[in-house]
A and B are shown apart, each in its own frame.
Chain A
């Protein structure tokens, strides 16, 4: 079946540091890939998505590129802020009604 593996956290960074959160997946066919973000005390919300190979999703300074050859969708940001502190979930949708989520990676950004 489909699966998503993302790096364990917490990831702790200083403000303005570069961020990478790794995500790899296993799926049949050509899934859509997503990053969701969960701020403290809130539900998940979509951060960005990519629907086909080599697509780059971007939002709020975050980027991720759909790499089919390496089955990866790593999340990056050039300069993190304290307000980026949250839990980030990688997910895929393979066309069924049931998306598959990774376990989440906690990001802590210090001033």
Chain B
């Protein structure tokens, strides 16, 4: 059971470079999310996709773009990386139509350093 798969696991970028973080889930979930985790800040939502074909901004969207490619895949793009985007990025998915079922399933994370 793969669950939520993120690639790559580690990445080092130079300031100004671009990259795309990939995420795929095999649980037939409707909703997908991108978070960043920084020391002392907990999880902050970057973007989410409530269902296939829709995306919306979260708490900290600046500097990022997303694509919900299909029901399984949700990618996060950094167009021009900045040192402030050094973080651990988590993708998550959930079956969100009912409150009690809104459990989130997380990938293992991408550890990104921007020099």
Contacts and interface: CB of A to CB of B under 8 A. Distances in A.
Interface of A: 31-32, 34, 36, 41-46, 49, 51, 89, 91, 93-95, 97-99, 101-104
A43 B107 CA distance: 6
Query: What 4 pairs between A and B have smallest CB-CB spacing?
Result: A43-B106, A103-B42, A93-B102, A51-B100
A44 B31 contact: no
Given A43-B109, A97-B31, A97-B48, A51 B42 contact: no
Given A97-B48, A97-B96, A89 B108 contact: no
Given A44-B43, A44-B106, A46-B103, 10 more contacts: A43-B92, A43-B106, A43-B109, A51-B99, A51-B100, A97-B31, A99-B94, A101-B43, A103-B40, A104-B42
Q: Chain A's interface: helix, strand, loop or mixed, by majority?
A: loop
A32 B90 contact: no
Q: Indicate the size class of the contact surface on chain B.
A: 20 to 34
Contacts of A36: 104
A97 B4 CA distance: 18
Nearest to A97: B50
Contacts of A99: 94, 102, 104
Nearest to A52: B100
Given A42-B109, A97-B31, A97-B48, A89 B103 contact: no
A37 to B, nearest CB: 11
